Chain A
Amino acid sequence: MSETANTANTASTANEAAAEPAEVQAPGRDASGEPGSWGARLRDAAVERWRPIALAALLLAACYAPFQLVPFRVFQLTMVLVYAVALLGLNLLVGHAGQISLGHGAFFAVGAYAAALMLDRWDVPYLLTLPVAAAVAFVLGLGLGVPAVRLHGLYLALVTLSIAVFLVPLLKRFESVTGGSMGLTLTKPAPPAWTGLAEDQWLYFLALAVAVAAFLLARNLLRSRVGRALHAVRDNEAAAEVMGVRLPFYKTLAFAWSAMFAGAAGCVYTWVIGFVSPDSFPVTLSITLLAGIVVGGLGSLSGPLLGGLFVMFVPSWSQDINKAAPGVIFGLLIIAVMYVAPTGLAGLAGRAAGRIRRTLRRE
């Protein structure tokens, strides 16, 4: 039925090599043959021991990095984490629920502005802004999720795209609240004295904590009833409905969850950058986010992280080639990924790791 979705599933099995928590097994996947085989079973067994070790190594590296890198690199990694959280939300929607959003930058902006307003107007302690910003985005996502239920595929893309376009003048219009086009400048969260950390390190650990929490939340969400329902909807909407999945409910929920992650990312963005303006959230941000998750890997948990790395570093590298090169490379990669590797970098990494392990096993 849905080709991308199926390939995504197949590859997400291979993916487990990339030190990822297990994906939910969507019904009907075993029919593809490979996962049930002897080799795969052995591999799964290896994966069981492999995963926590790799995860711990990754986390160790993540905690160690800010003490080794210059603040600028730490800042870059912080932004990678911010984008990863936003992409995690987009991944829920696009990769798991099979709906598309070309306007996720809008939810990101809502979270960022919600946090900025709380910090600017009411001096809310910054840690409190996170749940509120996430909640605001969640509610907004819920509100927009209601019409989204009735729109499929391209129409949803159209609506979300126009929302992202509309947001910029809207933010400028309510100047007394949003600071208009000059934006709002905010004080960044200061590291508590007991930590002995520099500001960039503190912000990094904040972002890391939010990212880890978001990943755990997303994983648990996907392993729950909701996740199974979403996969069923993605793989075969009609069949899912026949099987008793309440479509409108789950689709709306997917939209809201997805918005919530983007909103949380926006909040951390405000902490890290300390400045919001309408021009910070143009339509290109939404499109960049979509590019990030597609290239990173739809439907896998490592996809958002790889997508965050992609969004952060590829434009910097490619600007040395030509000033228009980032766009050309983004565009080409999106097409190429859909064409040769619908599971993106995550899928490729998974496949590569799988091959290495199989080779090792044979020797």
Chain B
Amino acid sequence: MAGFAQQVVEGMGAGAIYAGLALALVLIHRFTGIVNFAQGELAMFSTYVAWQFMDAGLPFWAALAITLTVSFTGGMLIERVVIRPVEGAPELTMVIVTVGLFIFVNAAAGWIWSFLIKDFPNPFPDGALRAGGVAVGYPTLGILAVVGLVMGLLYLLFRHTGIGLGMRAVAADPDSARLVGIRVGRTLALGWGLAATVGAVSGVLVAPLLFLEPNMMGGVLIYAFAAATLGGFDSPAGAVVGGLVVGVAETLAGAYVDVVGSDLKIGVPLVIILVVLLLRPQGLFGRATVERA
């Protein structure tokens, strides 16, 4: 039994990683109505920025603060330069552009920092909390705590600020939003900036565990997509719960279902995405589209 509980805990550890990136995906979807395939790569790039500052001798927290600022600005900049020209284009165009961004950012990171892995300091202490034969690593607890915190902040942002309202209007129907006086361009840029910031947080959280290299987030992305899909792509809480469910399901399937095994557990997010989209496209936590605009 302790073995099983330990597996669940491991799964939650993995799930917290997926949830971090899923939050960024949800955020940008709420703001702009698109799914950003480059979100993971942007997070990876931000993490390199943090690494670069630390390599130059800055302490962790200072480097983190600068990185979050840089990411926010960078996200807004990308919206202005890359996304604005195709604003209002069909989904197909947006998907292709973000895929292009994905390829570009990945290769650019390889160009700048090479493909050799780099270590990244862990802000959380080593060791583990033990209870009833189950050990939970402090890094895992730390990630869960930060992910929970970000989730809470996003909830407040969405529910209790004017930005949240404007953002929902923009995502639902940009033209109508513009008519009622919402500054659509600024809202979209803000969405990209915030998503990049949240992505940077998730990148910095996972880098100590996965080690920093240009393909660090590539493997996480599919799981984060599954998490966001399960949660409904609209709800921060959904992203976190989705991430944890995906993580636990994947770990348990890998450990206990022989047909799956550790080699085919990448099939778990695929199945989750398919089943959710076919049976309940709005996800566990999604609502019907907000009719606000």
Chains A and B touch each other in the complex, with CB atoms below 8 Å apart: yes
Q: Which of A40-48, A73-81, A108-116, A169-177 contacts B (4 or more CB under 8 A)?
A: A169-177
Known: A172-B263, A332-B104. A154 touches B99 (CB 8 A): no
Q: Nearest B residue to A331 by beta-carbon distance?
A: B104
Provide the bound-state CA to CA distance between A227 and B263, in Å: 41
- Residue contacts A-B, CB under 8 angstroms, 27 given: A98-B92, A147-B274, A153-B90, A157-B37, A158-B35, A158-B229, A159-B273, A159-B277, A161-B37, A161-B225, A162-B222, A162-B270, A163-B270, A165-B270, A166-B267, A173-B263, A290-B96, A291-B103, A327-B104, A327-B108, A330-B100, A331-B102, A331-B103, A331-B108, A338-B89, A338-B93, A338-B96
B92 touches A4 (CB 8 A): yes
Residues of chain A from 129 to 185 with CB closer than 8 A to chain B in the complex: 147, 150-155, 157-159, 161-163, 165-166, 169-170, 172-173
Residues of B within 8 A of A (CB): 34-35, 37, 82, 85-86, 88-97, 99-108, 110-111, 222, 225-226, 229, 263-264, 266-267, 269-270, 273-274, 277-278, 281
Provide the bound-state CA to CA distance between A322 and B111, in Å: 8
Provide the bound-state CA to CA distance between A298 and B51, in Å: 40
B50–chain A nearest beta-carbon distance, Å: 21
A3 touches B274 (CB 8 A): no
Provide the bound-state CA to CA distance between A327 and B38, in Å: 14
A117 at the B interface (CB under 8 A):
no
* Chain A interface size range: 35 or more
A3 touches B107 (CB 8 A): no
Q: Which of A3, A159, A294, A323 contacts B96 (CB 8 A)?
A: A294
A350 at the B interface (CB under 8 A):
no
B260–chain A nearest beta-carbon distance, Å: 10
Provide the bound-state CA to CA distance between A69 and B97, in Å: 37
Provide the bound-state CA to CA distance between A334 and B107, in Å: 14
> Please, what's the 1-or-0 string for A326-351, where 1 marks a CB less than 8 Å from any CB in chain B?
11101111110011001000000000
A-B pairs, top 9 by smallest CB distance, nearest first, are A327-B107, A331-B104, A334-B100, A153-B91, A324-B111, A331-B103, A162-B270, A335-B100, A154-B35
B269 touches A162 (CB 8 A): yes
A4-B92, A154-B34, A327-B110 known; 6 new pairs, CB 8 Å cut-off, are A151-B277, A154-B94, A154-B95, A158-B35, A327-B107, A332-B100
B273 touches A328 (CB 8 A): no
Provide the bound-state CA to CA distance between A147 and B270, in Å: 13
A154 touches B91 (CB 8 A): yes
Q: Which of A3, A162, A338 contacts B225 (CB 8 A)?
A: A162
Contact partners of A170 in chain B: CB under 8 A: 264, 267
A143–chain B nearest beta-carbon distance, Å: 12
Provide the bound-state CA to CA distance between A287 and B111, in Å: 19
Q: Nearest B residue to A295 by beta-carbon distance?
A: B100
Contact partners of A162 in chain B: CB under 8 A: 222, 225-226, 269-270, 273
Provide the bound-state CA to CA distance between A186 and B284, in Å: 48
Provide the bound-state CA to CA distance between A328 and B89, in Å: 24
Contact partners of B264 in chain A: CB under 8 A: 166, 169-170, 173
Contact partners of A165 in chain B: CB under 8 A: 222, 266, 270
A195 at the B interface (CB under 8 A):
no
A100 touches B266 (CB 8 A): no
Contact partners of A153 in chain B: CB under 8 A: 90-92, 95
Contact partners of B35 in chain A: CB under 8 A: 154, 157-158
Contact partners of B108 in chain A: CB under 8 A: 324, 327-328, 331
Q: Which of B104, B107, B110, B273 contacts A335 (CB 8 A)?
A: B104
